[in-house]
Amino acid sequence: TMLPLLLLLLPAAHGIVEHVAYTPFLTKTPVLEGLTTGSTFVLEQPRCVFDDKYSNADIWLVVALEKTATAFNNTVAPGTPASAFQNFPDSVPAYMTLNATLANYPCPKASGEITVLRVGSETSCTEDVARPTCNGPLSGPGPYMVKFLALEGSEPVAETDWSTPIMLRTAKSPNSISTTDEGHSAGMIAITTILSILFAILLAGLVAMLIFWGSDTCGGSSPFSKPEAVTVRRYNTHHVYDQPAARL
């Protein structure tokens, strides 16, 4: 009588996915290109999250929009049109990318080691349908949500919680940039005032220097001295005064 019951329970047990109490988060490690950009964001790697019993599993990153995350089915196999980056988000609620084995996430991490994942960093496979697991640039500001899913073959065995919503940076519209003083911060106003005062002092010093040089030139202190006038002394010859007609 126990055998039929076990046969009924086996399919249910086969589909059990362990919940791992971990919430993915944006890294706190300083990164060169910024924590979030217009098409990428940087996560901390899931170190010390999955047990050694999942050493044969592949750890996948699942990326979804906040509004489509609940529609993701963890039984969807990676590398298929139903989980392809190229079909997200039009016909796919979430795509799967950045697969790695547990060996790629050793625990504990070495001191000083950078343990991050940049989501959206690949540009060469954006439209390549032969690369459905492409880690391509994100096409909108979001918000996005992510979680890690462990698969043994195509069978899900463990998964984390969804992250909190992640917003990407957006370029500010030129029409939204204020051109009045109301849009300027107190710091900017203070810096502008200081620079204006310094410029006025510099300009006054330059004018004073020009006046000083001009007065020196007019006062004769110029290094180019005016040549002295040449005087010719007049001499009278003696024989002129010896003639009587010359003294009349």
Note whether 132 and 85 are within 8 A (CB): yes
Closest CA to 89 of 67, 118, 59: 67
What is the Cα–Cα distance from 138 to 157, expressed in whole angstroms? 28
The pair of structure tokens assigned to 96 is: 């799967």
Is the four-CA dihedral 105, 107, 113, 115 of positive or negative sign?
positive
Model pLDDT, residue 248? 44
Where are the domains positioned within the chain? Answer: 18-170
Give the C-alpha separation, 38 to 30, whole Å. 18
Query: Which pLDDT value is given to residue 140?
Result: 92
**Is the separation of the CB atoms in 62 and 68 below 8 Å?**
no
Which is nearest to 106 in space by CA: 174, 35, 46?
Answer: 46
pTM across the whole model: 0.65
- C-alpha 14/C-alpha 243 separation (Å) is 155
Note down pLDDT in tens along the chain; length 248 residues: 444 443 344 333 445 889 999 999 999 888 777 899 999 999 999 999 998 899 999 999 999 999 999 999 999 999 999 999 999 999 999 999 999 999 999 988 877 788 999 999 999 999 999 999 999 999 999 999 999 999 998 899 999 999 999 999 986 655 555 555 455 566 777 788 888 888 888 888 888 888 877 766 655 555 545 455 555 555 455 554 455 544 44
Quote the CA–CA distance of 97 and 84 in Å, as a whole number: 9
CA distance 148 to 161: 8
